[in-house]
A and B are shown apart, each in its own frame.
Chain A
């Protein structure tokens, strides 16, 4: 962007949002140029922090007129590189817009702005509404509810309620051309309670990664918090029996949470997880953290997996209104587990051995002790989990990285998540390079098995556009063009790549 245009645009942006809310300083632009993932940095030209819907409209009208890219941003922790401004432009940082517009206890929904965080919601529950809960993800407290829901983020009630996108009642959105639109019951009534039975226009903004507009308000469903709960963890030898157990338990809907995971160097690797072993594992975790000093980092930079079957953890959370209900559910669970694992080696961990109950841990902390965290997050048929995993895990080995995966059934297992994760050290270019190649290869294997990436990085979108039905691709492009005629919204992502 030439200097003259830039200066003129800065002047106009300052008029819209106030000069204290516009930055073009190099250190500031740099901090928005990258995120927690392995993705290459790209610098924005401006960072702008609107404080109201009118200011968002003003910025978008200006950007549309000047054909400047706009990247909606809340806290930048999407783990898909989605707010890295691939083509420069304006980072529209929405964290000043952090109000709760409505808390409807009776109809159990909340209406919030983009800057409202999981921490804000948790605080609200803790201080005023202890009987209510949300499908909190394992994300930091500073993550935005809006961003998580719009990007199909999953939470810890997913087996019952689906992704958080499934629980959107309505939105208010500023179109790239500056118009303000409400969608859902709020568009025709005074209530933000539901999105059906109207034609569902929310899909024009769900999963689009901010390429079709700026959502300025959202209504999300809240759930009961049950007084009795128990978390159980089963360590299973072998990918296939663990996946099968998780899918089948998902179908029963006994558990709020069914998670199947394997992280090497965590408890799932232990053969006998008695208290002594668990304590030893925690010590090992501490030791590994200390290993990450510049002098010793090479000690972990590559990982050659020892031979042997994978140890998988299946985590189950049961919630109930009464002790009797909890006991009945646990008894039933026991029957299923014994039946399903009768020919399998497994070990049920002592209650409480895996740390505090889930709800005390949410929002989550400490997900990236080495500075880097990335994943290929996908959704697809739970029946294909095991096949996919058996093809994906050797890819980790090829790049000498540690195997790590999470599988979660959604809505009783009608579909589910398959997420291949890697924590990595950002200070080692070789490790970062291997992570990049590994993730791209895994994504292809996942697609081959029928799993579709969510929070998909641009290269994953390109691959889907290349593989996809040409008419689907064309429709995406047409929808994008209709809403965003000058392609200003987060360009280089959905609707801006034809494969």
Chain B
């Protein structure tokens, strides 16, 4: 079996010391599967050891539970932040390498197989017909990038495009951009998945296909900036796409980064008051992956009436929402347990609402609230911001 270089290079260097289990200085749990299941194999160090075992030939991908140990990781990267030995962070890289080994060996989880088939057939991971992709924007009279061109492309991503409960963040984002006078367009039904989820579950060829397509599409459209509503999506476009060494003639920003810029430039003014005590959840892909922590907070601080209270685990020390890495599809119960842990932490702050800026996080929080019956609202930051330009002060 071919072992990816990243597994060869780093799995032998895990010291099994356990620093990855808790956030440094806070000494609070950081690894959702480890904290939930407790066995060593569910912690990052256990997965690194499984990598070593596979490399040595002592374990095989086909061994019972190997896939389960590899795929219960949400790829949240908290371990990489905590590890004092593998400086620079390489644990999630190894886990992704191990997942690529699994795919190469023909071993995939049934739920992921469904997701990949949906991707191949519908260009999205949610098993929805591709023709419905642009429906969320019906009646908005938005520019179509292919036909009309625009300076800025807005990417709604799979979740906002297809989940009818999740339309508000996309609509709010467009309202904000247009209020600021941004020349914005969308791809509509031609938008495709970013391919990031495929990458995370080890399906690199599928990822590459979508990455190449998207780079070509945005280059062809001549946009200067691609604004992404989804934290997963933005990290994939920002961090994974450049690895393909295809020139990208556009800048990639998360919506919150772009809104923060518009606020700084005076193009958005929040005149309405939104009296609400909120706490902010840093999506892993926006925070630990892309390093964006201040922009969402700057936006919230600029909205009159908003009182932002931080959870103890925040910024690079945020607890994951549980939806990433293909976990929501393959292990839905564990996924919403992870979200529920976060919701409890949010409630402990006394906040009325949990605000985030990733539709996968938001979806998972809403699912957990439905399951566990907690009393807290969940919003995308764009929804809150849009309220502040709707209302008079």
Indicate, yes or no, whether A interacts with B: yes
A91 to B223, CA, bound (A): 59
- Using known A-B contacts A31-B46, A119-B27, determine if residue A36 contacts B17 with beta carbons closer than 8 Å: yes
Q: Write the B98-125 contact mask toward A (1 if CB under 8 angstroms, else 0).
A: 0000000000000000000000000000
Indicate if A181 sits at the interface (CB-CB under 8 A). no
Tell me whether A366 and B65 are in contact (CB under 8 A). no
Contact of B41 among A27, A35, A36, A140 (CB under 8 A): A27
Tell me whether B85 and A368 are in contact (CB under 8 A). yes
- Using known A-B contacts A123-B28, A369-B85, A425-B13, determine if residue A28 contacts B65 with beta carbons closer than 8 Å: yes
A426 to B86, CA, bound (A): 14
Contact size range, B? 35 or more
CB proximity of B20 to chain A, nearest CB, Å? 9
CB neighbours of A372 from chain B (8 A) = 15
Tell me whether B18 and A142 are in contact (CB under 8 A). yes
Tell me whether B66 and A294 are in contact (CB under 8 A). no
Q: Write the A416-435 contact mask toward B (1 if CB under 8 angstroms, else 0).
A: 00000000011100000000
Q: Write the A91-118 contact mask toward B (1 if CB under 8 angstroms, else 0).
A: 0010110000000000000000000010
Q: Which stretch in B56-64, B192-200, B282-290 binds the other chain?
A: B56-64
- Using known A-B contacts A93-B38, A123-B26, determine if residue A30 contacts B49 with beta carbons closer than 8 Å: yes
- Using known A-B contacts A36-B15, A294-B8, determine if residue A31 contacts B27 with beta carbons closer than 8 Å: no
Tell me whether B24 and A141 are in contact (CB under 8 A). yes
Indicate if B39 sits at the interface (CB-CB under 8 A). yes
Contact of A27 among B37, B63, B84 (CB under 8 A): B63
A120 to B23, CA, bound (A): 11
A75 to B69, CA, bound (A): 18
A315 to B125, CA, bound (A): 57
Known: A30-B59, A425-B13; 9 extra A-B contacts, CB below 8 A, are A23-B39, A31-B50, A32-B40, A93-B39, A96-B38, A117-B27, A140-B17, A370-B13, A371-B15
Q: Write the A23-41 contact mask toward B (1 if CB under 8 angstroms, else 0).
A: 1011110111011100000
Tell me whether B39 and A75 are in contact (CB under 8 A). no
Which chain B residues have a beta carbon within 8 Å of chain A's beta carbons? 5, 8-9, 12-19, 21-22, 24, 26-28, 37-41, 45-46, 49-50, 53, 58-59, 63-66, 69, 84-87
A36 to B19, CA, bound (A): 13
The closest CB in chain A to the CB of B43 belongs to: A31
Tell me whether A289 and B87 are in contact (CB under 8 A). yes
CB neighbours of A117 from chain B (8 A) = 22, 27
Chain A residues 19-65 with CB under 8 Å of chain B are 20-21, 23, 25-28, 30-32, 34-36, 47, 49
CB proximity of B4 to chain A, nearest CB, Å? 12
The closest CB in chain A to the CB of B28 belongs to: A123
A170 to B84, CA, bound (A): 34
Indicate if A300 sits at the interface (CB-CB under 8 A). no
Tell me whether B18 and A75 are in contact (CB under 8 A). yes
The closest CB in chain B to the CB of A423 belongs to: B15
CB neighbours of A32 from chain B (8 A) = 40
A471 to B315, CA, bound (A): 61
A28 to B38, CA, bound (A): 11
CB neighbours of A142 from chain B (8 A) = 17-19, 21-22
Indicate if A252 sits at the interface (CB-CB under 8 A). no
Tell me whether A369 and B87 are in contact (CB under 8 A). yes
Contact of B22 among A23, A119, A373 (CB under 8 A): A119
A181 to B65, CA, bound (A): 38
Which chain A residues have a beta carbon within 8 Å of chain B's beta carbons? 20-21, 23, 25-28, 30-32, 34-36, 47, 49, 75-77, 93, 95-96, 117, 119-120, 122-123, 140-143, 286, 289, 292-294, 365-373, 425-427
- Using known A-B contacts A93-B38, A95-B38, determine if residue A26 contacts B27 with beta carbons closer than 8 Å: no
CB neighbours of B45 from chain A (8 A) = 31
A426 to B11, CA, bound (A): 10
Tell me whether B40 and A292 are in contact (CB under 8 A). no
Tell me whether B39 and A77 are in contact (CB under 8 A). no
CB neighbours of A119 from chain B (8 A) = 22, 27
The closest CB in chain A to the CB of B27 belongs to: A119
The closest CB in chain A to the CB of B86 belongs to: A369
CB proximity of B250 to chain A, nearest CB, Å? 33
Contact of B65 among A26, A36, A293, A426 (CB under 8 A): A26
CB neighbours of A120 from chain B (8 A) = 27
A300 to B305, CA, bound (A): 59
A34 to B52, CA, bound (A): 11
The closest CB in chain B to the CB of A372 belongs to: B15
Contact of B27 among A76, A122, A293 (CB under 8 A): A122
CB neighbours of A47 from chain B (8 A) = 39-40
A76 to B12, CA, bound (A): 17
A171 to B13, CA, bound (A): 37
CB proximity of B183 to chain A, nearest CB, Å? 45
CB neighbours of B66 from chain A (8 A) = 26-27
A75 to B63, CA, bound (A): 24
A75 to B38, CA, bound (A): 11
A86 to B15, CA, bound (A): 20
CB neighbours of B39 from chain A (8 A) = 23, 28, 31, 47, 49, 93
CB neighbours of A371 from chain B (8 A) = 12-15, 85
Tell me whether B64 and A25 are in contact (CB under 8 A). yes
- Using known A-B contacts A36-B17, A77-B18, A366-B85, determine if residue A425 contacts B12 with beta carbons closer than 8 Å: yes
Tell me whether B8 and A77 are in contact (CB under 8 A). no
The closest CB in chain A to the CB of B24 belongs to: A365
CB neighbours of B17 from chain A (8 A) = 36, 77, 140, 142, 367-368, 373
Tell me whether A366 and B84 are in contact (CB under 8 A). yes
- Using known A-B contacts A120-B27, A368-B85, determine if residue A141 contacts B19 with beta carbons closer than 8 Å: yes
The closest CB in chain B to the CB of A292 belongs to: B13
CB proximity of A436 to chain B, nearest CB, Å? 16
A142 to B23, CA, bound (A): 10
CB proximity of B273 to chain A, nearest CB, Å? 35
The closest CB in chain A to the CB of B58 belongs to: A30
CB proximity of B310 to chain A, nearest CB, Å? 15
A427 to B56, CA, bound (A): 10
- Chain B CB count within 10 A is highest, among A30, A34, A367, for A30
CB neighbours of B63 from chain A (8 A) = 25-27
The closest CB in chain B to the CB of A96 belongs to: B38
CB neighbours of A427 from chain B (8 A) = 12-13
Tell me whether A30 and B22 are in contact (CB under 8 A). no
Tell me whether A31 and B15 are in contact (CB under 8 A). no
CB neighbours of A31 from chain B (8 A) = 39-41, 45-46, 49-50
CB neighbours of A123 from chain B (8 A) = 26-28
CB neighbours of A293 from chain B (8 A) = 9
CB proximity of A364 to chain B, nearest CB, Å? 8
CB neighbours of A141 from chain B (8 A) = 18-19, 22, 24, 27
CB neighbours of A143 from chain B (8 A) = 18
CB proximity of A122 to chain B, nearest CB, Å? 6
A140 to B30, CA, bound (A): 15
- Using known A-B contacts A47-B39, A93-B39, A289-B87, determine if residue A369 contacts B13 with beta carbons closer than 8 Å: yes
A20 to B86, CA, bound (A): 31
A379 to B127, CA, bound (A): 65
The closest CB in chain B to the CB of A360 belongs to: B25
CB proximity of A456 to chain B, nearest CB, Å? 20
CB neighbours of B53 from chain A (8 A) = 27, 30
